[in-house]
Amino acid sequence: VSVQAQILSLLRELQRELNMGLLFITHNLSIVKKLADSVAVMQHGKCVENQRADTLLSAPTHPYTQKLLNSEPTGDPVPLPAGQAPLLEVDRLRVAFPIRKGILKRVVDHNVVVNNISFTLHPGETLGLVGESGSGKSTTGLALLRLIRSEGRIVFDGQSLDTLNRHQLLPVRHRIQVVFQDPNSSL
């Protein structure tokens, strides 16, 4: 069970025991669907819609709410041409940070953050990398860009990134980019 699920369960339990109200602030619609009795939708600092959750989620009235709900991925796979070469191949990716102790800061162990993950991504395909906070998602992205040290094999558009130096990586990094979680940094 994820930390997120444990916290949500604890909040529900406390809410029942203490008969308390709960204001839950999130951008995650799947949590809202599971947790909220009513939903207020904000846009540009204003509340544009406020209804019972079942009503709002099934029949939103404000255009922004409609757009927000329609933008949620459906999970329907995109038909891909047969035999198309992968855009990204990741094989046994591993990231471990050294744990240093003592006056001389000697390495005594390693904190393994990403442990031997493998996946393939084809052109036009979307791969959702999902996990709770601290599960290694962002570290995986940084490793794919070779911004941090990693082990394993990373092949982008047929080119192995494992042996490229900083200068050779520049043109590749123009084609692979991170979209940060902070929306202001992403724009």
What mean pLDDT is predicted for residues 40-61? 86
Q: Are the CB atoms for 86 and 107 separated by under 8 Å?
A: no
Kindly report which listed range (60-64, 79-83, 121-125) carries the lowest average pLDDT score. 79-83
pLDDT digits (tens, 9 = 90+) for 15-33: 888 877 777 777 777 788 8
Tokens 């109200």 correspond to: 21
Give the per-residue pLDDT at 18.
Answer: 82
Tell me, what DSSP letter sits at residue 55?
A: H
Q: Is the dihedral of CA 81, 87, 90, 95 positive or negative?
A: negative
Tell whether the model's pLDDT for residue 180 goes beyond 80: no
Give the per-residue pLDDT at 179.
Answer: 64
Q: Are strands 106-121 and 151-156 parallel, antiparallel or unpaired?
A: unpaired
Range list of H helices, the chain: 3-18, 29-35, 53-58, 63-70, 137-144, 166-173, 183-186
> Between residues 104 and 80, which one has the greater pLDDT?
104
Domains of the chain: 3-70 (no CATH), 88-178 (3.40.50.300)
What mean pLDDT is predicted for residues 57-73? 87
Residue 65 forms beta bridges with which residues? none
pLDDT digits (tens, 9 = 90+) for 98-149: 999 999 999 999 999 999 999 998 887 777 776 667 778 888 989 998 999 9
CA angle 135, 57, 49 (to 5 degrees): 105
Q: Are the CB atoms for 143 and 93 separated by under 8 Å?
A: yes
Predicted structure pTM score: 0.64
Taking alpha carbons only, the member of 162, 171, 119 closest to residue 143 is: 162
Tell whether the model's pLDDT for residue 187 goes beyond 60: no
> Between residues 156 and 185, which one has the greater pLDDT?
156
